[in-house]
Amino acid sequence: MKSFVFQLSLLLIFVPKNFGIDENSSEEKMIYSTSVMSMVKLLEMEESLKANLEAYVQAMQSKVDKIKLYQESLKRESFNTLAEKEEYMANPLNAFPLVRRLNQDWPKWLRYLKLAIATKNTKEMELQLKSAPIDDDLNVALKGMTRIEKFYNQHAEDLSKGFLLGRKFNSHLTAPDCNALANFHYNQSRFSESTHWYRMALRLHEFPQGELYEKVLGLKRKKIYKKYAKALLKESLTLDKVKITSTEKSEWDSMAKEVTREDNYDNVKKLIDEYLTGDEKIFQEEAAKRKRKPTKLERGCRGEWPKITSSQLTCRYNKETSPFLKIAPLKLEFLSLQPLVLLYHEVLYEQEFKQMRDIAIFNATMQDGWTYVNFDKNGKPEPQDSVVKMVTFQGTTAPFTLSINRRIADMSGLEMLENMALYLTNYGLGGHFGKHVDYVELADRPPGFFSEYGGDRIATALLYATDVPLGGTTVFTKLKLSIEPKKGNALIWFNLNHAGDPNPLTEHSVCPVVMGSRWTISKWIHERQQVFKKPCLA
């Protein structure tokens, strides 16, 4: 790579300066990418568009057939000399039809060629696309894809060929897909990550698809060459940089723009074509040498933490935390004693989840959920990334709300009656929650903060409503404890100790979902109503 960038840099002295800025904006609309179930609507949208396209193609084919039929009627022998043409026109059976066709037929044929085809279908498609994902939605999807790439150390080549965490799927990425991911990394100044995607975009930008990309989508191969050259140059300049200053960024932008000017394009293309002859595995090995060490969270998501074993961490049937359990005990697994983290097996019924999901979907009540990390000066959470879709179920009118709350009370030994709220959540493309704690540290918040809920969150209950084939693990980063989502299981942990003080060891995260639709039912249990219920947690 260094030899390539060195050659590329030498081209600077032959290119004059030029500057420019691009800006994009989008209006606020529904975001689909935060929920797999919401993205089902996009599948339905494209199926409808495909049906209209099929009708359009049939109408177009019918028109082409008519044009070809007329084209056949115009066939005649070729003329090599002026004398042959004159002899042909001397025949009135040739001359008259030609004069008439040019006077009457050809103007009508031109109108027919320009006439819109299947306008009903195109208008229907235009109407449907008014609800298509906007730029903000695409941005959420791009973040999700790059999150999967980063957390699980996935390579651009593998992802483009349909590999996810070593498993092959009947899917693939196209040149426009790879180019979009490359641009996203590039615009975030992550140049080392962008170069692999630009390279994939060039490898996939081939005939005949490449012709469609250029003529219909405007994605010209030349444009990718130039952007790849810029990324390579900036990658070489940032390899040893921890942080890029605004001055450096401006200088490098100018330098990259100079290198890729139009009068220098042939030189750039020649160098990149030589670069593209390299084996992709070599690029991956070189990139691996420069990658930073994975964070503790990333290691947990990759399943690299050793399994915690202890004679005190046992599995048994719980019969003690409620009178009901004496006749119907539940399968309990102790995952941690300090803080107390419990995993109950097979405690959620499929019918309960389906009833909640149907209400959420058919009543269109799900809203975007955010990962809350920071608090402002007034103690209110500042939204970060929109990562899920969520709906709140209040009260006891629905049978499933009452039954699930009773079961959580049985499992935790805590009181639920003053707080019956349940939260149904569906994760989207690469959906996750960053490292956070569920307690709020009321002492650091304004007076009255959270008072309507009955104090801080003494415990959290998380019920897994679906299996997740890849990703979506719940990890406690400071405990090095990871729990794979398994349908029907429930995870319960205590955020506060016996004195009511927050326990920082309860810091946790949800790893990015790679494959599957992660549905969970969660509940935060507040402390004030637990005066006579809370366990003695040291």
How far is 340 from 535, CA to CA, in rounded Å?
Answer: 10
Residue 28 confidence (pLDDT): 53
Please name the amino acid found at residue 417: L
Q: Confidence band (pLDDT; 50, 70, 90) for 121?
A: confident
Whether the per-residue pLDDT at 232 is higher than 50: the answer is yes
Helix (H, G, I), strand (E, B), or coil: what is residue 270? helix
Q: Which two tokens stand for residue 379?
A: 């103690």
How far is 388 from 371, CA to CA, in rounded Å?
Answer: 9
DSSP per position, 406-446: HHHHHHH----TT---EEEEEE-TT--EEEE-S---GGGS-
How far is 76 from 70, CA to CA, in rounded Å?
Answer: 13
DSSP per position, 46-101: HHHHHHHHHHHHHHHHHHHHHHHHHHHHT------SHHHHHHHHTSHHHHHHHHHI
Check whether domain 2-13+28-33+134-292 has CATH 1.25.40.10, yes or no: yes
Say which CATH class 315-530 falls into: mainly beta
Per the CB < 8 A criterion, the answer to whether 360 and 35 are in contact is no
Per the CB < 8 A criterion, the answer to whether 331 and 315 are in contact is yes
What is the share, in percent, of the chain residues with pLDDT greater than 70?
A: 88
Per the CB < 8 A criterion, the answer to whether 330 and 316 are in contact is no
**What are the boundaries of each domain within the chain?**
2-13+28-33+134-292, 36-131, 315-530
Alpha helices in 174-263 (DSSP H): 175-187, 191-204, 209-215, 221-238, 246-259
Domain pair 2-13+28-33+134-292 / 315-530, same fold: no
Q: Which of 457, 462, 453 is nearest to 496 (CA)?
A: 457
Q: Where are the beta strands (DSSP E) in 255-380?
A: 315-318, 330-337, 340-345, 367-375
What is the share, in percent, of the chain residues with pLDDT greater than 90?
A: 43
pLDDT, tens only, 187-204: 999 999 999 999 999 999
Q: Which of 68, 120, 76, 113 is nearest to 95 (CA)?
A: 76
pLDDT, tens only, 126-154: 898 888 888 888 988 999 999 999 999 99
Rounded mean pLDDT, 32-57: 92
Residue 463 main-chain phi, psi, to 5 deg: -105, 125
Per the CB < 8 A criterion, the answer to whether 228 and 188 are in contact is no
Q: Is this model's pTM higher than 0.95 or not? A: no
**CA distances, 402 to each of 189, 368, 409 (Å):** 50, 25, 11
DSSP per position, 104-134: IIHHHHHHHHHS-S-HHHHHHHHHHGGGS--
Q: Which two tokens stand for residue 216?
A: 């219909």
How far is 373 from 435, CA to CA, in rounded Å?
Answer: 8
Rounded mean pLDDT, 24-48: 81
Please name the amino acid found at residue 82: L
